[in-house]
Amino acid sequence: MNDPVMGGTHRMQSNDRSGAARDIPQDRARISEDSIRRHLIEQIARRSRTTADQIDSDRPLEEFGLASRDAVAIAGELEQMLGRSLPATLVWEHPTIDKLSVALASGADLAPAASAAPAAPSVPSAAPSADEPIAVVGIGCRFPGGDRDLTGPADYWRFLTGRGDAIREVPDGRWDPFDDGSPEVGDLLAKTTRLGGFLDDVAEFDAQFFGITPREAAVMDPQQRLVLEVAWEAFEHAGIGPASLRGSRTGVFVGVSAPEYGAFTASDPAALEPFTATGAALSIIANRLSYLLDLRGPSMIVDTACSSSLVSTHLAVQALRRARPTWRSRAA
């Protein structure tokens, strides 16, 4: 499932507006596991433009290159097949054909656990204080370091205390895609300063690790890739397994103020494709992390120019102080 859409707890409404689905006896829902599995294999093969014999029922559904609209459509078809309402997050809660088939054949209530009303505390808790201390438990970072990239808080601190210089000449080949060989462009590049803060490996990205197809990764704003990598490093620094947050009310607040990639990708209409929209949208910088880890708290970017990171951190702190104790926030 390629375009990142936050999972939620709203139930999928049946496509049948006549009310017939509600009138079907519950026994109809007891379709065999094998029948459901065959149906899913056929639908996924059709939507991923492959053959049924190439569909491995134990592989994660996201590996078949389905978009979120395909996942929602499949959930709607299953509603009609089973004659009962299903949550729109169905394929996220049961991420393989085998797991989904078992869950559907059981006839159990498939509403996500996170949608259940929280149990009332035995002792009423006091409202959080406006100055409640907030703990920073993990940090990830990626900064220009002159001849190398700074890849962690310890590395960054040593660089600062050692009075390092992060400025250097533009890396070889970095501007080649902008040079069409014309005298006009050559003259423009010659007049442009070649000094700045540059990351060395901005084009390097392990798309497979993050469940992103190479085709989609090729048109992603580098900021999207960096947030995924740095957030993962922050989890490692904190000693938190990212999978442990799946389905939690964890918020993602990211300060962003560089929209150049959208203008760059839109400059060549012939190169536009379906993934271009999500690849260039600033909102997706935060949403990709929420989608990857199935985080169900707020997911937003903040653009207040130079203060973007500070304001996003401020909003994350406010969210923690105002929300229930089960909330967590991440700021970048």
pLDDT tens string 190-214: 888 899 999 987 778 998 888 888 8
Percentage of the chain lying above the pLDDT 70 cut? 81
The token pair that represents 166 in the structure block: 């992060």
Give domain limits for the chain.
20-111, 144-198, 205-331
Per DSSP, the residues of 76-140 read HHHHHHHTS--BTTHHHHS-BHHHHHHHHHHT-----GGGSPPPPPSSPPPPPPTT---------
In this structure, the dihedral spanned by the alpha carbons of residues 323, 324, 327 and 328, taken in order and rounded to 10 degrees, is 60
Question: To which residue do tokens 């490692």 refer?
Answer: 236
pLDDT band at 56 (very low <50, low <70, confident <90, very high): confident
Domains 20-111 and 205-331 share a fold: no
- Cα(160)–Cα(163) distance, rounded to whole angstroms? 5
CATH topology of domain 20-111: 1.10.1200
- Cα(71)–Cα(240) distance, rounded to whole angstroms? 29
CATH superfamily entry for domain 205-331: Thiolase/Chalcone synthase (3.40.47.10)
pLDDT tens readout for residues 232-273? 999 999 999 998 998 889 999 999 988 888 888 877 888 888
Question: Residue 202 has what DSSP assignment?
Answer: T
